A = this chain, B = another copy of it.
Amino acid sequence: MTADDFGASYLQQRLSGEFALVDHIGVRVESADDTRLVLYAPLAGNANDKGTAFGGSLFSVSVLAGWAWLTRHLARESCAADVVIQESRMQYLIPVRGDFRAQLCLPAAEEVARFRRMLRRAARGRIGLRVEIRDGDDVATRFDGLYTAAMRPG
């Protein structure tokens, strides 16, 4: 895989290069293609004294999964825009007791098309993205984030 694929190694480089905390958390891009975006993190370094994952770590990996999906989408479209989180909701349903994976729930094609139109017309677009962390088959946390992409000036 080369950087031109905008795949796992491309996103790993972006994440590690742009967020100081990424390497402390141990975030690793496990999958990044058109059908699937998954970030992995180890429990070690993210645990509390009960042996479950800290809510702030689960949130961080979730918010980064949404950022990574949207950043990859923009890079593939050769669209020079920066992505920031604007608002989010996080539900903690069951404790996470091991290494964990945050998986993006792919947005509907109409939502992506609407986002692209906003970005083209107003140089700024918003999109809602959902990320889930699972424990086996069960959803452990559900993150819903509203992201804004803004075209870089010039």
Binding site for B on A (CB under 8 A): 17-21, 24-25, 44-50, 54-57, 59-61, 63-64, 82, 84-92, 95
Contacts and interface: CB of A to CB of B under 8 A. Distances in A.
* A contact patch SS: mixed
A91 to B, nearest CB: 5
A49 B21 CA distance: 11
Contact of A50 (B46, B61, B82, B88): B82
Contact of A59 (B59, B82, B86, B91): B59
A89 B92 contact: no
A90 B92 contact: no
Contacts of A61: 56
B24 A54 contact: no
Chain B CB within 10 Å — which of A17, A25, A48, A63 has the most?
A: A48
Contacts of A49: 17-19
Nearest to A23: B24
A48 B63 CA distance: 13
A15 to B, nearest CB: 10
B91 A54 contact: no
A92 to B, nearest CB: 6
Nearest to A85: B55
Nearest to A57: B21
A46 B21 contact: yes
22 contacts: A18-B49, A19-B54, A19-B56, A20-B44, A20-B54, A21-B24, A21-B45, A21-B54, A21-B57, A24-B45, A50-B82, A55-B88, A56-B59, A56-B63, A56-B64, A59-B59, A84-B92, A85-B92, A86-B92, A88-B89, A88-B90, A89-B90
